[in-house]
Structure 1
Amino acid sequence: MKPDLTRYFPILTWGRTYDRSALSNDLVAALIVTIMLIPQSLAYALLAGLPAEAGLYASIVPILLYAVFGTSRALAVGPVAVVSLMTAAALSNIVEQGTMGYGVAALSLAALSGIILLAMGLFRLGFIANFLSHPVIAGFITASGIIIAASQLKHILGIDAHGHNLLDIVVSLVAHLPEINWITTIIGVLATGFLFWVRSGLKPLLVRIGLSSGLTGVLVKTGPVAVVVVTTLAVWLFGLANFGVKIVGEVPQSLPPLTLPSFSPALIGQLLVPAFLISIIGFVESISVAQTLAAKKRQRIDPDQELIGLGAANIGASLTGGFPVTGGFSRSVVNFDAGAETPAAGAFTAIGLAIAALALTPLIYFLPKATLAATIIVAVLSLVDFSILKRSWDYSKADFAAVLATILMTLLVGVEVGVSVGVGLSILLHLYKTSRPHIAEVGQVPGTEHYRNILRHDVITDPSVVTLRVDESLYFANARYLENKIHNRVAGDKGIRHVILQCAAINEIDFSALESLEAINEALNEMDVKLHLSEVKGPVMDRLEGGHFLSELTGKVFLSQFDAAKELAT
Structure 2
Amino acid sequence: MNVKLPPAVTRRIPILDWGRSYDRNAFTNDSLAAVIVTIMLIPQSLAYALLAGLPAQMGIYASILPIVLYAIFGTSRALAVGPVAVVSLMTATAVGNIAQTGTPEYIAAAITLAFLSGLFLLGLGIFRLGFLANFLSHPVIAGFITASGMIIAASQLKHILGVSASGHNLLELLVSLAEHLGDINWITLVIGVFATATLFWVRKGLKPLLIARGMKPRLADVAAKSGPVAVVAVTTLVTWLFSLDEYGVRTVGAVPQGLPPLTAPSFSPDMWASLVGSAVLISIIGFVESVSVAQTLAARKRQRIDPDQELIGLGMANIGGAFTGGYPVTGGFARSVVNFDAGAETPAAGAFTALGLLMASLFLTPLLYYLPQATLAATIIVAVLSLVDFSILKKTWAYSRADFAAVSATILATLLIGVEIGVTAGVALSILIHLYRSSKPHMAVVGQVPGTEHYRNVLRHEVITDDRILTVRVDESLYFANARYLEDRIYDMVAQRPKLKHVILMCPAVNAIDMSALESLEAINERLKSLGVQFHMSEVKGPVMDRLKRCDFFNHLNGKVFLSQHQAVRSLTDGPDETPQAA
- Quote the offset at 1:541 in angstroms: 1.2
1: CA distance, partners of 2:164 / 2:323: 32
1: CA distance, partners of 2:421 / 2:567: 54
Structure 1: which amino acid aligns with 2:123?
A
- CA deviations over 1:67-104 (Å, ceiling 9, x no partner): 01101010000000000000000111110001000000
- Quote the offset at 1:2 in angstroms: 6.6
Q: 2:167 aligns to what?
A: 163
- Quote the offset at 1:207 in angstroms: 2.4
Q: 2:388 aligns to what?
A: 384
Q: Specify which of 438, 445, 452 is matched with residue 448 of structure 1.
A: 452
Structure 1: which amino acid aligns with 2:440?
R
The reply on whether 1:69 has 2:73 as its aligned counterpart is: yes
- CA deviations over 1:394-420 (Å, ceiling 9, x no partner): 111111011001000000000000000
1: CA distance, partners of 2:461 / 2:356: 66
> Residues 472-483 of structure 1 correspond to what in structure 2 (within 5 A)?
472-483=476-487
- CA deviations over 1:517-559 (Å, ceiling 9, x no partner): 1111111111111111111111111111111112211111111
- Quote the offset at 1:174 in angstroms: 0.9
Q: Specify which of 363, 376, 392 is matched with residue 359 of structure 1.
A: 363
Q: Per the alignment, in what secondary structure is the counterpart of residue 341 of structure 1?
A: coil
Of residues 207-216 and 36-45 in structure 1, the stretch that sits farther from structure 2 once superposed is: 207-216
- Quote the offset at 1:494 in angstroms: 1.6
Q: 1:496 to 1:514 in 2, by over 3 A?
A: same
Q: Per the alignment, in what secondary structure is the counterpart of residue 473 of structure 2?
A: strand
Q: Specify which of 114, 122, 128 is matched with residue 124 of structure 1.
A: 128
Q: 2:473 aligns to what?
A: 469
Q: Specify which of 177, 180, 188 is matched with residue 176 of structure 1.
A: 180
Of residues 210-219 and 514-523 in structure 1, the stretch that sits farther from structure 2 once superposed is: 210-219
Q: Specify which of 27, 31, 35 is matched with residue 23 of structure 1.
A: 27
2: CA distance, partners of 1:305 / 1:257: 28
Q: 1:528 aligns to what?
A: 532
Q: Specify which of 145, 149, 152 is matched with residue 141 of structure 1.
A: 145
2: CA distance, partners of 1:317 / 1:491: 66
Q: 1:232 aligns to what?
A: 236
Q: 1:82 aligns to what?
A: 86
The reply on whether 1:297 has 2:288 as its aligned counterpart is: no
Off by >3 Å, runs of 4+ in structure 1: none
> Residues 244-393 of structure 1 correspond to what in structure 2 (within 5 A)?
244-393=248-397
Q: 1:153 aligns to what?
A: 157
Q: 2:581 aligns to what?
A: none
Structure 2: which amino acid aligns with 1:506?
V
- Quote the offset at 1:460 in angstroms: 0.9
Of residues 542-551 and 85-94 in structure 1, the stretch that sits farther from structure 2 once superposed is: 542-551
Structure 1: which amino acid aligns with 2:150?
I
2: CA distance, partners of 1:517 / 1:254: 71
Q: 2:412 aligns to what?
A: 408
- Quote the offset at 1:204 in angstroms: 2.2
2: CA distance, partners of 1:19 / 1:395: 49
- Quote the offset at 1:210 in angstroms: 2.2
Q: 2:560 aligns to what?
A: 556
Of residues 534-543 and 181-190 in structure 1, the stretch that sits farther from structure 2 once superposed is: 534-543
Q: Per the alignment, in what secondary structure is the counterpart of residue 278 of structure 2?
A: helix
Q: Per the alignment, in what secondary structure is the counterpart of residue 29 of structure 1?
A: helix
- Number of residue equivalences: 570
- CA deviations over 1:135-164 (Å, ceiling 9, x no partner): 100000000000000000000011111111
Q: 1:494 aligns to what?
A: 498
- CA deviations over 1:325-380 (Å, ceiling 9, x no partner): 00000000000000000000000000000000001111111110000000000000
- Quote the offset at 1:3 in angstroms: 7.2
2:507 touches 2:539 (CA, 8 Å); kept in 1?
yes
The reply on whether 1:97 has 2:97 as its aligned counterpart is: no
Of residues 202-211 and 171-180 in structure 1, the stretch that sits farther from structure 2 once superposed is: 202-211
Q: Specify which of 115, 119, 140 is matched with residue 119 of structure 2.
A: 115
2:29 touches 2:344 (CA, 8 Å); kept in 1?
yes
Q: Per the alignment, in what secondary structure is the counterpart of residue 499 of structure 1?
A: strand
- CA deviations over 1:260-311 (Å, ceiling 9, x no partner): 1101011111001101100000000000100000010111111111111000
Structure 2: which amino acid aligns with 1:53?
Q
Q: 2:579 aligns to what?
A: none
Structure 1: which amino acid aligns with 2:235?
T
The reply on whether 1:44 has 2:48 as its aligned counterpart is: yes
Structure 1: which amino acid aligns with 2:406?
A
Q: Per the alignment, in what secondary structure is the counterpart of residue 383 of structure 2?
A: helix
The reply on whether 1:439 has 2:443 as its aligned counterpart is: yes
Q: 2:543 aligns to what?
A: 539
- CA deviations over 1:225-274 (Å, ceiling 9, x no partner): 11101111111111111111101111111111110110101111100110
- Quote the offset at 1:435 in angstroms: 0.5
2:467 touches 2:497 (CA, 8 Å); kept in 1?
no
- Quote the offset at 1:492 in angstroms: 2.2
Structure 2: which amino acid aligns with 1:411?
L
Structure 2: which amino acid aligns with 1:560?
S
1: CA distance, partners of 2:223 / 2:7: 47
2: CA distance, partners of 1:153 / 1:199: 20
- Quote the offset at 1:488 in angstroms: 0.4
Question: Percent identity, aligned pairs only?
Answer: 71
Q: Per the alignment, in what secondary structure is the counterpart of residue 488 of structure 2?
A: helix
2: CA distance, partners of 1:548 / 1:203: 73
- TM-score under structure 2 length normalisation: 0.97
2: CA distance, partners of 1:442 / 1:269: 55
Q: Per the alignment, in what secondary structure is the counterpart of residue 4 of structure 1?
A: helix
The reply on whether 1:569 has 2:573 as its aligned counterpart is: yes
2: CA distance, partners of 1:376 / 1:337: 22
Structure 2: which amino acid aligns with 1:458?
E
Q: 2:433 aligns to what?
A: 429
Q: Specify which of 177, 196, 218 is matched with residue 214 of structure 1.
A: 218
- Consecutive unaligned residues in structure 1, runs of 5 or more: none
The reply on whether 1:508 has 2:512 as its aligned counterpart is: yes
2: CA distance, partners of 1:15 / 1:193: 43
Q: 2:401 aligns to what?
A: 397
2:470 touches 2:504 (CA, 8 Å); kept in 1?
yes
- Quote the offset at 1:516 in angstroms: 0.8
Q: Per the alignment, in what secondary structure is the counterpart of residue 253 of structure 2?
A: coil
Query: What root-mean-square deviation, in Å, do the aligned CA atoms of Structure 1 and Structure 2 show?
Result: 1.0
Structure 2: which amino acid aligns with 1:473?
S
- Consecutive unaligned residues in structure 2, runs of 5 or more: 575-583
- CA deviations over 1:24-65 (Å, ceiling 9, x no partner): 100000000000000000000000000000000000000000
- CA deviations over 1:445-483 (Å, ceiling 9, x no partner): 111111110000001111111111101111111111110
1: CA distance, partners of 2:8 / 2:427: 36
1: CA distance, partners of 2:40 / 2:257: 20
1: CA distance, partners of 2:214 / 2:333: 29
Q: Per the alignment, in what secondary structure is the counterpart of residue 191 of structure 2?
A: helix
- Quote the offset at 1:565 in angstroms: 1.1
- CA deviations over 1:410-455 (Å, ceiling 9, x no partner): 0000000000000000000000011111001111111111111000
The reply on whether 1:8 has 2:9 as its aligned counterpart is: no
Q: 1:181 to 1:267 in 2, by over 3 A?
A: same
Of residues 270-279 and 491-500 in structure 1, the stretch that sits farther from structure 2 once superposed is: 491-500
- TM-score under structure 1 length normalisation: 0.99
2: CA distance, partners of 1:72 / 1:531: 53
